[in-house]
Amino acid sequence: MNNQRSRYLMRGATLSNLFPSLTNTGDSPKFPDGPVWEILNPNSEHSLKLQLEEVVEGLEDGVFIHPTAIIGKDTCIEGPAYIGPNVEIRHGAYIRPYSWICEGSVVGHCTEVKHSILLPNSKAPHFNYVGDSILGSGVNLGAGCKLSNLRNDGRTILIRDGNDGKKIGDSGLRKFGAILGENVQIGCNAVTNPGVILGCNSHVWPNVTVSGLHSENSVIKD
């Protein structure tokens, strides 16, 4: 792979480029220095796992639910979990351990979230699977969209160029779904393969399977 292109893609995958509106004053977790996906590493000093355990310490069932959050009927929330202000957890949703749902976000009917972060005002509203992933503000997943998080061979997830599939690096993570920059829109029944990173304002058409790292404003049709 061209080293210049590799550096260009990785620059676009930084915290400030993927989540430009993120501040340290909101209800989101604190991201460690280094690659954005490092927060998903349970062995990291500043991992999502450790931060959630600290937030919910002493709470019944290890679950924090803000008083303004709306929790629908027949939902299942397993701690440790954080449900922020004005969050909507709709009927039949399944929140698995180590999920951090920030202010104004939506987890919809029959959606499953596991060890993931939904940053403010992101939406997984209908029949979605969100595993070991990070959704930036303004992200919307179309009905049936799945963020796959595990290779069939169980090996660590590689970071690849979304255009030619060539290796850029190794995340070191066995489970790593997708990192979606702010305002990414994904069409109905699309699937992201493990280790997908989409830059801000990217669009994925319905029924498409996505792999690799794509820069901001990408349009992925096939």
Q: What is the CATH code for 3-220?
A: 2.160.10.10
pLDDT at 38 over 90: yes
Amino acid identity at 115: H
Query: What whole-number distance in Å separates Cα of residue 55 and Cα of residue 63?
Result: 9
DSSP class of residue 150 equals B
On whether the CB atoms of residues 111 and 129 are closer than 8 A, the answer is yes
**How confident is the model over 163-176, as pLDDT tens digits?**
999 999 999 999 99
Query: Does the model's pTM come out above 0.75?
Result: yes
Those residues with Cβ within 8 angstroms of residue 44's Cβ, 6 or more apart along the chain or in another chain = 32, 38, 50
Domain spans of the chain, in order of start = 3-220
Query: Is 64:55 a contact under the CB 8 Å cutoff?
Result: yes
What positions carry a catalytic annotation? 126
Contact 79, 56 (CB under 8 A): yes
Tens-place pLDDT, residues 105-157:
999 999 999 999 999 999 999 999 999 999 999 999 999 999 999 999 999 99
Query: Is beta strand 167-170 parallel, antiparallel or unpaired with respect to 158-160?
Result: antiparallel
Asked if residues 104 and 85 have their Cβ atoms less than 8 Å apart, the reply is: yes
